[in-house]
Homo-oligomer: A and B are copies of this chain.
Amino acid sequence: MLNGRTPSVKDVAAAAGVSLGTVSNVMNRPEVVSARTRERVERAMSELGFVRNESARQLRAGTSRTLAYVMLDGTNPFFHDVAQGIELAAEDADLSLFICNSNSRSAREAVHLDRLLQQRVQGILITPVDPAAPHLDELTRRGVPMVIVDRVRGADSCCSVAVDDVLGGRIAVEHLAEQGHTRVAFIGGPESLGQVRERLAGAREIWESLGRDPEDLVYLPTEALTVAEGRTAGERLAGLPTRRRPTAAFCANDLLALGLLQQSIGAGLRVPDDLAIVGFDDIEFAAAAAVPLTSVRQPRQELGRAAAQLVLDEATNPDHRHQQLQFTPELVARASTANRARVL
């Protein structure tokens, strides 16, 4: 008898007058059990309020019904959108999702990974602090399916999903050039981030291929990709002598762009007339800004969904091959770069 205990298959079996195995069959291969017994077992289950114990199932099965996403920065909505995409895919596969946040700290990341290993998750999606960190190799060594999100890792050592950041940089700056800007700032940092390097590289590439003077693409480094750093960059921009001051800024992400926008408007500048701004990511708040932000869109949810599918393939398909999926970013033009009355 169950006294307070939550009922187990055994209790259900007793109540329905069948064996353990039959109850299990009702849950896992209903087609092999006769309609009459199945019904009887199902009634017993609902009468007892039976709920499958996932730990026991997993212990026996050797594998859990769980995925995990270790995100890089919980204060950036971009990552939550990615997580949302992952969750949808997990839902489709009837899996649960652990969400962890490393907050850009490698030690925290390691702690999370260790816990996830103990949980025997089916796969790990991660936007790592450092794609080359040894604790990531550890995962591959153990054979845990892993997908890097929004970063790439050399040598096909695992799957990854990202956007073509170089291209993103190109289309942003190309757009500004088309709008007639001849002096443009690139705002972003630290350079240790692959994204920042590549977006800058793309910007420079197109700038020079348009025959512009490299000097006219001003690099304003920041210490992080945050709203506060965007404001600071705005102040530095305002401090430049008028002749050298860019009329447009391309920010390495939307948080910087929002900070820059706020600072500029507060200082009495008109956007886009005095300063045009392009962001990157196209988070919801870019479109919601007082002056809606032009931004290079990443397919955020799609990124997450694709990553989840890759990790599931690695987990279930024996001839899985690692892939480096690369999505194409897309410029979304809004008011912050609207064509101005050209006075050259």
Contact = CB atoms under 8 A, between A and B. Distances in A.
Interface stretch (A73-81, A184-192, A199-207): A73-81
Given A59-B53, A290-B261, A290-B289, A74 B64 contact: no
A49 B142 contact: yes
Contacts of A36: none
Interface in A1-56: 6, 49, 51-56
A227 B288 contact: yes
Nearest to A111: B91
Contact of A64 (B55, B120, B259, B290): B55
What copy number does this chain have within its complex? 2
A130 to B, nearest CB: 21
A84 interface: yes
A262 B292 contact: yes
Contacts of A218: none
A227 B284 contact: yes
Interface in A91-126: 91, 96-101, 111, 114-120
A258 interface: yes
Contacts of A54: 55, 118-120
A266 B116 CA distance: 47
A-B CB proximity, top 10 nearest: A290-B290, A99-B99, A55-B55, A54-B118, A55-B58, A227-B288, A265-B290, A55-B59, A54-B119, A51-B117
22 contacts: A6-B142, A49-B142, A51-B117, A55-B58, A55-B59, A55-B64, A77-B77, A83-B99, A87-B101, A96-B100, A96-B115, A97-B100, A98-B98, A99-B99, A227-B284, A258-B285, A258-B288, A262-B289, A262-B292, A266-B290, A290-B290, A290-B291
